[in-house]
């Protein structure tokens, strides 16, 4: 059975990193952007990281510029923005594509394990869905991720156990992480 540990990604300096290095940890894998309306998610993500990292928790941050060009900077510019504005300390990897023919295989796998089920109900969510569909129509059946700050929760065995769209309250994400760490 395939797990996230079977994947190798690039760190922000371009070096290969086997995700098997995170074996035995609870992971939250996130595609991010520095110019998005959801960018403030960095605050609760960093708070969660500080609270849980000593309990075997890691956040893996993958910047992506595929959603309305909201992460246009270089890896170094993005990293500097995140550390200075939000004080992030969790690992940040190279900027990637999460959709289309050049989608990073990790994100294609994550999305196949936990497909998109919607942003929620209400006008705000409907508007985001319309905008996301317009943005992602070029990717066709390879539109794995619908928007920035999609989060995947991975258990200590490397299995994808939950997907959180950016519209999910970060308190619910924190509760799911805490529950998984307490297993």
Written as six digits, the tokens of 124 are 């705000």
Candidates 30, 33, 36, 160; catalytic one: 36
Do 47 and 59 touch, CB atoms closer than 8 A?
Answer: no
Annotated catalytic, 64? no
Length of the chain as a residue count? 183
Please name the helix (run of DSSP H) or strand (run of DSSP E) that holds residue 181, with its range, or none. helix 170-181
Count CB-CB contacts under 10 A for residue 21: 11
Please state at what angle helix 42-52 crosses helix 170-181, rounded to 10 degrees. Answer: 20
- Residues marked active site are found at 36
């Amino acid at each position: 059975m395939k797990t996230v540990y079977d994947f190798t990604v690039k760190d922000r300096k371009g070096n290969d990193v086997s995700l098997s290095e995170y074996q035995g940890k609870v992971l939250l894998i996130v595609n991010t952007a520095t110019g998005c309306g959801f960018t403030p998610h960095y605050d609760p993500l960093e708070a969660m990281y500080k609270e849980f990292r000593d309990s075997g928790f890691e956040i893996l941050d993958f910047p992506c510029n595929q959603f309305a060009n909201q992460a246009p900077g270089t890896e170094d510019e993005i990293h500097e923005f995140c550390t200075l504005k939000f004080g992030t300390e969790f690992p940040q990897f190279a900027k990637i594509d999460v959709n289309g023919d050049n989608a990073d295989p990790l994100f294609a796998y994550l999305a196949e394990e936990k497909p998109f089920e919607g942003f929620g109900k209400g006008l705000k969510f409907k508007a985001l869905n319309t905008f996301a569909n317009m943005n992602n129509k070029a990717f066709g059946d390879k539109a794995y991720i619908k928007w920035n700050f999609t989060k995947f929760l991975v258990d200590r065995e490397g299995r994808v156990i939950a997907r959180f769209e950016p519209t999910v309250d970060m308190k619910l994400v924190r509760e799911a992480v805490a529950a998984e760490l307490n297993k």
